[in-house]
Amino acid sequence: MTLEKKPKAVIVGGSIGGVSCAHTLILAGWDVVVLEKSYQAPTGSPTGAGLGLDPLSLQLIQSWIKDPELLKRTTLPLTIDQNDAVDGEKKVRWTLTRDEKFNCRAAHWADLHALLYHALPPNLFLWGHHFQSFSISSDKRSVQVKALSLQSNETVEVIGDLLVAADGCLSKIRQSFVPDHKLRYSGYCAWRGVLDFSGSEKSETIVGIRKAYPELGKCLYFGLGSGSHTVLYELLNKRLNWIWYVHQPEPDLKSDSMTMKANSDMIQAMHKEAEKMWLPEFVRVIKETSHPFINAIYDSEPLEQIYWDNVVLVGDAAHPTTPHATRSTNMSVLDAAVLGQCLKKWGAENLQSALEEYQSIRLPVVSKQVLHARRMGRIKQGLALPDLQSFDPKTANPEECQELQQRLMPFFSDVPSILV
C-alpha cells in the first residue's frame, strides 16, 4: 500500500497573516513551508505596535494554539470603545461616544506572533529567505517559488501545489498580477510608540495618565483634536501603546517598509507640537517613550479578485487598509480561517473551487471594510468627505459623533457560515 502524498502550500511572509495560514492549512491536511526574510522569529521587544483582537479572532486563535488560556494571559481586555474631544488650548477633554460592549482584547504584535509561532510544528519556517519570483506550471497544477538565502546568498527553489501571498501591503506577488494597482497615501502619518513603565508604576507620569484616563486596561481611548487624533490603550506587562496621526506630505520611503525611524531633531519637534495639542498627561507619556517611530498610512482601492490559478492573496497583500477600525490583524486572521476551511471542504483536487469560494466569501467583506476604515480615518482627522463636512469635535452633534464608533464597521460581528 502507498500513502497518498499531502498537498503542499508555500506561504510567502511570516507575519500574523502568514503564521495564521500555517495553522489553518495544516488543520486542512496540507504540508506547509513559510518563507520569511527576517533572520529569526521576532521577540517581545518594547518597541513595536499594539493591536486589538475582536471576539471572532480570539475564538479562532484559541482553537489553533495548544493552551487557549495563553491568549488571555498575554492580552488585556478592551471592553470599551471611547471617543473624546480634546481642546489643546484649554487642556480639557470630554466624551463624544462610548461603547461599553466592544468586547475586544489588546495585544502587543510580537507577543501575539510568538504565541502563534510557538504553537506550530518545528521547522516550517525558512528564516532569512527573501522572496524573488514564482512561476506557475503549464498545467496550472504546481507553482515554483524562488527565494534568496540571505545567509548563503544562494537561490532556493520550493515547489508546491499552492502559493499563499502573505507578503504585506507592498506585495510583490500581487504586483505581478495587477501591476497598475497602486497604494493610496492617506494624507497623514502616525507617530507611534510603546512606553514600558515596569519599575516606574508610581512615577508622576503613570499616576497622572491613570488619573486622566482611569479605565486604562480595559478601554480603547481615541482623542480627537483639531485636524488630528490619537489612540491610547494599555498592553500587558506594564506597557502603554499610543498613536498620534499627523497631516504631512507623502514621505519618500527608502525601503520596502511603511515604518520610518525618527532622528532626535524630528522627535524634539514632535514633542513641542504635542505640548500645544494634547493634555499634559498624554504628552508626558509621549516624551518618556524610547524610540518612537513613524508609520506612513496607506490603503488601496479594493481589488476585483484575490486569487489567480493556484496563487491566493491574504492579509495586507489582499486588502491594504488604514488602521482606524482595528481591522488589519482581524482581517488577516479571518482570511486564514476561511481559506483553511475552504481547502478542507473542497480538497486539493478541487483547488480552484476552494479558492473561488474563499474569494466569494472574503472579497465583498474586506472591500467594504477597507473603504469604511478610510472613511473613519478621514472623519477623525477632520478631512472632508463627499457626503460630510469636515468633522469638528468641538461642535459635532450626537448623530455626527455616532460615525466614530467601531461597531459601525460593515460585517463588524458577522461570522462566515463556513466557520460555523
**Is 393's pLDDT higher than 70?**
yes
Q: Helix 351-380 to helix 328-346 angle, to the nearest 10 degrees?
A: 170
**Is 410's pLDDT higher than 50?**
yes
**Which of 328, 213, 235 has its CA nearest to residue 289?**
235
Lowest mean pLDDT among 68-72, 143-147, 287-291: 68-72
What's the mean pLDDT in 355-366? 98
Domain ranges of the chain: 8-49+112-182+300-379, 69-110+184-299
What was the pLDDT predicted at 43? Answer: 57
**Is 2's pLDDT higher than 90?**
no
Give the strand pairing for 184-196 and 293-299. Answer: antiparallel
CA–CA dist 415, 337 (Å, integer): 11
- The H or E element that residue 95 is part of is strand 92-99
**Which of 327, 301, 331 has its CA nearest to residue 315?**
331
Identify the burial level of 92 via C-beta atoms within 10 angstroms of its C-beta, where 0-12 means exposed, 13-18 middle and 19 or more buried: exposed
**Is 18's pLDDT higher than 80?**
yes
What was the pLDDT predicted at 326? Answer: 87
What was the pLDDT predicted at 389? Answer: 86
What's the mean pLDDT in 67-74? 90
Lowest mean pLDDT among 249-253, 313-317, 352-356, 365-369: 249-253
Q: What percent of the chain has pLDDT over 90?
A: 90
Contact predicate 335/316, CB 8 Å: no
Q: What is the mean pLDDT of the chain?
A: 94
What was the pLDDT predicted at 46? Answer: 43
Residue pLDDT, tens place only, 80-98: 999 999 999 999 999 999 9
- Give residues with Cβ within 8 angstroms of 241, minimum separation 6: 49, 50, 106, 108, 192, 193, 194, 231, 232, 233, 234, 235
**Is 293's pLDDT higher than 90?**
yes
CA–CA dist 393, 95 (Å, integer): 10
Burial 216-255 (b: 16+ CB within 10 A, else e): bbbbbbbbbbebbbbbbbbbbeebbbbbbbbeeeeeeeee
Which pLDDT band holds residue 252 (cuts at 50, 70, 90)? confident
Identify the burial level of 73 via C-beta atoms within 10 angstroms of its C-beta, where 0-12 means exposed, 13-18 middle and 19 or more buried: exposed
- Give residues with Cβ within 8 angstroms of 386, minimum separation 6: none
Cα–Cα separations (whole angstroms), residue 331 to 54, 148, 258: 10, 29, 19
Contact predicate 298/183, CB 8 Å: yes
Q: How many CA atoms lie within 13 A of 249 on its CB side?
A: 1
CA–CA dist 315, 338 (Å, integer): 12
Distance of CA 270 to the CA centre of its chain: 25
This prediction has a pTM of 0.95
State which fold the 69-110+184-299 domain adopts.
D-Amino Acid Oxidase; Chain A, domain 2 (3.30.9)
What was the pLDDT predicted at 3? Answer: 54
- Indicate the length of the chain as a whole number: 420
State which fold the 8-49+112-182+300-379 domain adopts.
FAD/NAD(P)-binding domain (3.50.50)
Which pLDDT band holds residue 1 (cuts at 50, 70, 90)? very low
What's the mean pLDDT in 161-183? 97
What's the mean pLDDT in 120-141? 96
